[in-house]
Chains A and B, each alone.
Chain A
Amino acid sequence: MSTWIPESASNLAASVDNITLFVTIVSVFFFVLISAVLVAFSIKYRRKSEDQETAYITHNPVIETIWTIIPTILLMVIFAWGWIAFKELRNPPAEAIEVNVVAKQWLWEFEYFTGKKSLNELFVQQNKPVRLIMRSDDVIHSFFVPQFRVKQDILPGSYQQLWFTPTKVGTFDLLCAEYCGSGHSKMLATVKVLSPEAFARWEKGDELEDGAALAAISVSPAERGKDLYSQRGCLACHSIDGKEVIGPTFKNLYGKTEDLEDGSSVLVDENYLRESIYEPEAKMVKGYPPTMPSFKGILSEEEVTALIEYIKTLK
């Protein structure tokens, strides 16, 4: 299975995979049947001479009834089975831990009931059901983790929920599945499934126990900034190779003089970069849309410093 269906890492995956397998068996059977009959007839009854005998057969009630009833039965089985599994997907258990999710162009914010927040990284505990309460700040997005077999559109103006119990420790891709504009294909995040012990440490805020944070103390700020650039979603809008995506490119940005919307200009230095991360609309560079969210409360001062150091290296 693993070659065509992704690894299964949630409690819901097995039943979805079983139906998928059943539908696949039925489909392959009918496909092979139709193709084989078609090819066999094509060979056997190919025109060998112009006056070749043909049979005058117009219909056959028995065979037509049979081939109507058999697919009907199979389809009803598939319908019922799909529905039963769907009920499970839609109804979270009462003890599920709640996480608030905000999707916006083009990043994911997670808020846990302890008050902790994270950006583009969802932390969950192995074998503990999680219920996500999701809203969008702008357009429709969709929460999709292939290994969990779950997907739910996230709408502005209402809450949508989704639940799962992660069964395997590891890191899984979270993809936005509903087209949401130019940063859509970069609206990627990860789900980090931690063992109960690791999760407890993470909850206590003992960041140093976290692998990434541990690594951070042994690497330079610029290298830490490089990780943040992809983890915190900067890459959706700012390129590092000079390409214009949505916002200004980071290449050669530091030390440059930018023209602003109000006609003035500004030298891009540490303070301007810090201000633009925390208050993006304070000094808007001319010709760019005001779509960047504020990262206040999401990126710490330390992380901003690391990002600035990274931007400085992009020459």
Chain B
Amino acid sequence: MANGAMTQTQHIPYLAQKGLKSWILTTDHKRIGILYLVTISFFFMIAGLAALGMRYELMTPELDFFRTPTEYNVAFTLHGSLMVFFFIVPGIAASFGNFLIPLMIGARDVAFPRINLLSFWIYLVGTAILLSALAQPADTGWTFYTPYSIQTGTKVILITLGVFVLGFSSILTGMNFIVTIHKLRAPGMTWSRLPLFIWASYATAILQLLATPVVGITLLLLIAERAFDIGFFDPAKGGDPILFQNFFWFYSHPAVYIMVIPAFGIISEIIPVFARKPIFGYKAIAYSSFAIAIISFFVWLHHMFVSGISETAAAIFSFLTMLVAIPTAVKVFNWTATLYKGSIDFHSSMLYALSFIVLFTVGGLTGVYLGALAVDVHLHDTYFIVAHMHYVMIGGTVMGFFGALHFWYQKWFGKVFNELTAKAAWFLIFVGFNVTFFPQFFMGFQGMPRRYATYPEEYISYHALSTYGSWILGLGIIIMTVNLLIPLWKKGWPESSNPYGSLSLEWQVPSPPPHENFDEIPTVTDWTYAYGKK
């Protein structure tokens, strides 16, 4: 599709330079991507351990693993806030976004490489604040609902301050990506030829830019309320606790799409390569990312149907919530249809992509239960929500993330992992995930509320099954991680720069790519998905 391609031997890989300074002062988007990848993976592991602890506790109804209910509450607060704010929101967008966007559009770097590094440093400051909060962590849940978050004796200010600082990193990254995609596309890389990951990253960046300031303000108000007793949210001081929920979800619902839209992009890249087919309905997928991004700003009240809002507000937001399901359904149909009359290779990354379709379908369909007002009243704040959310976040985003790790691994790190072990790990993750979370839908129907350190006897069999699942899932993730870490110590670079026969620009440069990616900026003559074009 493009000229200017280099062969695998005649270049100096961007990874060649060694030493700490070459990392912490780098402005190379590929290295900054790695910095993010390492940091988010660290937090993923910590938050994952907290989850295993919670599941172990919930194997029996009474408290036995943690010493007090507060310890359990701290565990789910840490799990939720680390996973959401430190892993999954910056996750794919910052790591793969950084690595892939310039390569895919045929640019040497992002538009503002130094601001890019600044974003990462701000992210690190946020994580440092958070780590210092771990000595006495909060017990508010990741949602920090007032007035509990104002009244609790645990330390809320540090953790919210950490999230507040992180927000700036998110905003700067979003801005940087928008400018990069507008200004640095290679000649011939028109909007209708762009890889769908770029469309997805663009939609995500808009959400980051517009929604993140709202959560920043909200958390700042919460900090001010706790520190100076101001009374924004505490009714005892004339405030309104519902105001906090409105503010919080005004960010946190679009944030759900900050988490999942990049995964949509990844799936749209992996499936055409391994099916050797053009993506089906390119325009529908590209535009639906934008439709979702825009509508997602107007559905936040569906988190609050039983919070004490008016019937009219509930009806409007239920309607808008149903609307957001339409573009989501369309995407699932498009990905599935792409397989038709293809030549399908079940590479580990393709297995993750295919399981994404199945699991995300479950996540999306169970969202319809929650969008239907009367049904939501019964299911709200039960384990049904927990299951739904994890089918979207793990079944969707994390499957996309793991798929991306396996797909671009050779390109990014210039190494080759063991494919058989990768497939075995995928199998354990897929089975373990379903055993963990599927029983939770039934638990939710039965009425088991979330965030319970102890629970009535009748739910024990669901909980026990869910805990066994978490062990399988944990084992799968450990095997996957080890399998991806071992090759990093091997010498030499892979033989082929494009082992899967991708037409996308990043596969036309060596693995790993040289600093500044392209000797000459390529000229693009066809779209990215011209597989099998006669």
Contacts and interface: CB of A to CB of B under 8 A. Distances in A.
Contact of A177 (B235, B381, B445): B381
A58 B532 CA distance: 11
Interface in A85-117: 85-90
A226 interface: no
A151 B357 contact: no
B488 interface: no
B479 interface: no
Nearest to B304: A153
Contacts of B449: 144, 175-177, 185
- Nearest 6 A/B pairs, CB to CB: A157-B235, A146-B447, A82-B372, A85-B374, A86-B373, A185-B452
Contacts of B371: 78-79, 82
A30 B235 contact: no
Contact of A151 (B337, B339, B381, B532): B381
Interface residues of B, number: 93
A152 B308 contact: yes
A71 B378 contact: no
A213 interface: no
Given A151-B378, A182-B73, A173 B456 contact: yes
B138 to A, nearest CB: 12
B277 to A, nearest CB: 6
Nearest to B324: A75
B95 interface: no
B63 interface: yes
A150 B381 CA distance: 12
Interface stretch (B43-51, B122-130, B210-218, B340-348): B340-348
A217 B362 CA distance: 54
B315 A67 contact: no
B28 to A, nearest CB: 35
Interface in B427-466: 442, 445-447, 449-456
Contact of A149 (B139, B242, B378): B378
Given A6-B446, A54-B276, A81-B372, A45 B340 contact: yes
B418 interface: no
Contacts of B158: none
Interface of B: 63, 67-70, 73, 139, 141, 145, 147-148, 151-153, 235-236, 240-242, 275-284, 306-308, 311, 314-315, 318-319, 322-323, 325-326, 329-330, 332-334, 336-337, 339-346, 354, 357-358, 361-362, 365-366, 368-369, 371-378, 380-382, 442, 445-447, 449-456, 529, 531-534
A63 B393 CA distance: 29
B455 to A, nearest CB: 6
Contacts of B68: 182, 243-245
Contact of A5 (B366, B372, B445): B445
A259 interface: no
A158 B322 contact: no
Contacts of A79: 318-319, 322, 371-372
A182 B533 contact: no
A182 B147 contact: no
A71 B281 contact: no
Interface in A1-33: 4-6, 15-16, 19-20, 23, 26-27, 30-31
Given A46-B346, A181-B152, A184-B69, A75 B322 contact: yes
A294 interface: no
Nearest to B319: A79
A42 B344 contact: yes
B288 to A, nearest CB: 10
A78 B372 contact: yes
B67 A244 contact: yes
A38 interface: yes
Given A57-B277, A64-B330, 16 more contacts: A16-B377, A19-B374, A27-B365, A27-B368, A41-B336, A45-B344, A47-B276, A53-B532, A64-B281, A139-B147, A144-B381, A150-B377, A151-B378, A176-B449, A179-B148, A184-B451
Contacts of B380: 151, 177
Which has the most chain B C-beta neighbours within 10 Å: A15, A85, A177?
A177
7 contacts: A5-B446, A83-B373, A84-B374, A86-B377, A88-B374, A147-B447, A158-B235
Contacts of A138: 147, 151
A38 B235 contact: no
A147 B376 CA distance: 14
